[in-house]
Structure 1
Amino acid sequence: MFDDLPDDVPRLETLRTWHAMWVTRIDAKLAQARQREAEQARAAAAREERRPDWLLDYGQNRDRPPTAVHVGDCCMAGSRVKGVSVQAAREALAAGVAACTLCRPDTELGMFDP
């Protein structure tokens, strides 16, 4: 089956040494890759834990009143958002701040008009 290998001991030992060296290098690189993936997974889990449940979107000017309320993981939330409590989200919706039409925080909070 493997008759393409040399028949003499010195060349076979050389091949074995060469491949053992490569296996060692591959194992080291594999360990680094596994550690990097584990660190990325831990960082993603930490980011997930810090994500607020409700967001107030301030549009282009953070000094003005909020322009919309979003569920915490809404992809339409802008870059100028502030995480708020469920009570603050309800108060903002009751005060007339628009509910995001994509994530529907008013429906999530049970504040929609039938």
Structure 2
Amino acid sequence: MGDDLPPDLARLRTLEAWAAHYLTRIRARIAAVERQQSQQRPPAPTATPPARPAAGPGRSRTPDWGLAEAGIGVPAAEIHRGDCWARGKTLVPVSAERARAELADGAQACEVCRPDRVLNRPP
């Protein structure tokens, strides 16, 4: 066991009572903060992730969805989430509707970011 705890039962029981009391206070504070945040938070999105702001002055924002055209290293068109690390450099920004249509027309879903799961298409 730990060497930092007292060896006698009386002091161990005192520590146990203090820890239980403090844990109750911590849980109450967590609940209060969660209530406060839920009142300040906008409603959760349904199918499309929220738009991300630009990364800095003069930079365009990251698109929510993108299409990587077939080409060198990409055997077929692929749909990616805008923040996917495997998207390559030539991601064409598309809307969620167009991404769904491309998937329905045979474009591949990226195996890394799995946009088909978010766009409500079975894998």
TM-score, length basis structure 1: 0.51
Say whether the 8 Å CA contact 1:57–1:69 is kept in structure 2.
yes
Q: What's 2:32 paired with?
A: none
Q: Please list the CA deviations of residues 15-44 of structure 1 after superposition, one character each: whole Å capped at 9, or x if unmatched.
A: xxxxxxxxxxxxxxxxxxxxxxxxxxxx72
**2:112 aligned with 1:102:** yes
Q: Which residue identity is paired with 2:118?
A: E
Alignment of 1:56-75 (within 5 A): 56-60=67-71, 67-75=77-85
Question: Counterpart of 2:100 in 1: which secondary structure?
Answer: helix
Q: Which residue identity is paired with 1:80?
A: T
Q: What's 1:82 paired with?
A: 92
Aligned length: 68
5+ residue gaps, structure 2, are 1-53
Say whether the 8 Å CA contact 1:53–1:72 is kept in structure 2.
yes
TM-score, length basis structure 2: 0.48
**2:102 aligned with 1:92:** yes
CA distance in 2, matches of 1:60, 1:79: 12
Q: Which residue identity is paired with 2:64?
A: D
Superposition misfits of 4+ residues, deviation over 2 angstroms: 43-47
5+ residue gaps, structure 1, are 1-42
Q: Please list the CA deviations of residues 47-78 of structure 1 after superposition, one character each: whole Å capped at 9, or x if unmatched.
A: 4x6111000001437xxxx6100011000001
Asked which structure has the greater CA Rg, the reply is 1
Q: 1:45 to 1:96 in 2, by over 3 A?
A: same
Q: Which residue identity is paired with 2:68?
A: D
Structure that is richer in helix per residue: 1
Q: Which residue identity is paired with 1:84?
A: V
Say whether the 8 Å CA contact 2:55–2:61 is kept in structure 1.
no
